[in-house]
Structure 1
Amino acid sequence: MSSSGDSVLEEHSPPGNLQDLTPENRKKWSDEFVSFWMDNEIQGEERGREPLSQFFNGCKTPFDQTQKPATITWIAFPKLISLQTSGRIPERWKIADRSRDVQDEYLEWSVFRNPPDTGNIISVTYTCEGPEYWDFLATFQSSTLIDLYVDLNSDFKEHFKPDKSDFFIVDRKDPDDKSKWRYNKQNIWNSTTNTGTIAHLVQINNTLGAEIDIAAQATVIRKDEDGEIITDQDRLIRCSRYGNEDRNSDPRIGSQINSIARDNKSVTVADPVALYINNFNTASLKLDVFGTTSHMEPVPKDTFQWQRGDISKNQGLRLKVKIPDGVLGQGKNNKDRQLTVSDIYDTKTKHYIQYGSQLADYITMGVSAVTIDSTNADPQDCVFSANQKKNAPQLAKSVVQTHFKGVNGILWRR
């Protein structure tokens, strides 16, 4: 239900309003990806889904573009690991740094140490960029993708193969024909936690498609067997069968979107559609210049480098943490030694930073929603028991079985 001052978006912007894409490809990203995902949700095209009446596509339905979006936030440290370890430290930090597969709160990171694996942390880089966007770059602007890998991981560029084939799956029968190369999302420079290099999310559940699916399906108002409206976030996520209730993110996104929908609103993900670093709280972090914890100094400002997105708008996409060159230690223990991330001391936990996951405890993720007035649809029965913890595969993370031929091969839409 729109008003006279409402209007539609000209296009869905790239994540964080990034300027990577040509005008033609900006439109393609908007029409053939973001709009496609949203329309699929609205029409109930995915297996096990029904048409939605309280989710809309801002490129097709007018809305008040001046409204302040409702922002939903959560902590980036994986809740599953906190549950598994009962919060024990440093065990929880070690496990979270072990594999990108366990970094499932829409933030992933990679740590560079010197010497490798055992030394002090030289840098740690975090990203929340969805894999679909980088797939898109690989298909339609492959030179841009290569340039970004080189620019964003400049400390390691001398290790990249001269022909940059290490980013792609090379056709074995015709390896010299680059038109047959297909982007390898889990290439050596974007799949581990110990190289210090990273480009985008790779954990199977960390996708833009999943974000849209959770937001869309959460607009369905649900009732239990007794006809009572379900509001508890864990029961909602079981009932509607989206996401994973043992994450910080999915239940919170679903619960808050559902609360908005119950207030006679239709909802969509705010433009630009993406998952964001909303905030990084560094208040408890100090630099131990003398190595004694007796004289702490503020961490140099340039230590926290926001490389993608706009954190001033709570839309950070990539953060690199590295003590600037030339910041030297003092005193008997540290005199003239180049200080590192491992010289940062957390006054809250009383630990030096020895794991990238320690900083994830202070990173808040976010996604935003905008609304239009509507009439609530009738409450729907659960598709899965709201009282039983589910072990079934998550529909929110399934691949939509629609694809098209890109210049580098088949690109799957998630």
Structure 2
Amino acid sequence: MDHVSEVISRAFHDSEIAKRFSCRRTKSAAIAYNVLGNNFEEKMLAELRPRLENETERSPVFSLIIDESTDVSTTKVLAAAIKYYSEKLQSPQTKFLCMVDLKDFILPITTKFNVIFQSDQTLIHKIDTDIQNMMSSILSCFMKINYIKTTSLQSIDPSSSMHFLPIQNMYLGTNVAITLELLKDDVRMKSKIEEFLNRCQAFLIELSKQFLQRLPVQDNFLQDLSFIDPQKAVYGEFRTLIKILQRFPNLVTTENMQIVDNEYRELKLDVSVSNLLSTSSSTSENFMVDKFWSEVSQICDANSKPKYGNLARFVKQMTILPLSNAKVERIFSDINRIKSQDRNRFNNKNVAAIMHGKEGLRQLEGGCSRFDPDKSMIKLMDSKQLYDNIQHNDEKS
């Protein structure tokens, strides 16, 4: 649009109106957003409103068609189309109604939790607490607080109606509360509001059930892994690691279990370990787990031998337990970007080479602009090494 004014004035150089015409991007956007869009939307909605002049006539009937997706900016949206009979056009019409940004209330709670599963950081020691917090937040929307506080997550029944809040007291977010307040005096909306609240309650019940079925709330494994947390390792109560050690006989033999347990108990009384959390560079409660246990593994006794070698080794093995397959999903996304419709002749070996190259460069400090090839790479940069094993079905440049 920035060039339209110039094109029109040149095309109609003998017109004074064309010479004075001015419409660039800002004005075009304003017209589209605030004039055309609003006007056509209002005309459509006018056909759907009850006609007050004829009180005996029923409100116009319409159907809603909805679907949700993620746009290119990764924003979750719900798109709604409406189908109605237009008296003006004397025919059924199917038109775009609106787009709803799915992030107002319940989605951020679940998305925030989902992000933890997708993270590459060591967060496995926090999962149990986050599960408890997320479930309590969801359950408190439609269940009594006292029931949630006094009942373990393993024993909570989301469908127990005796513990439900009165349906009008459910918490559905501020936007819903404002909308319901505006509609509370509309007699025609009373039944629809009640139906809406019942649907919301059913959704929250099913959401809670699905989470409880899919998350390991019946297993204390994630709770046992909280010993990895530096704060609990140093300041927590004395405890044994026997339960978690018994789950991994391939990592810790029965003979070594007592050694690991002793090291964990001694660690809590070691001033040098406490100092790791009290130094100016690591006072944050979120002191990185990897850094903490790396430094613990370097603490030596009087004989210059690792003081907590067995414990630190076991912890490092626990930090590589996968929380989800999010990494593999990201790999497929990368593959789809590499192997596009225009570049579809890559074989798996070549795609894998590109993926390894991307990950290697991504881990470098300063990125590819600071990349300094080592000697092993330089040795491979000769004609024989470069082209002897090249695939004939490679993409043509």
Structure 1 length-normalised TM: 0.22
Task: Report 1 or 2 for greater relative contact order, CA contacts < 8 Å, sequence distance ≥ 6.
Answer: 1
Higher helix share: 2
- What TM-score do the two structures reach when normalised by structure 2? 0.23
**Structure with larger Rg:** 2
* Bigger fraction of residues in strand: 1
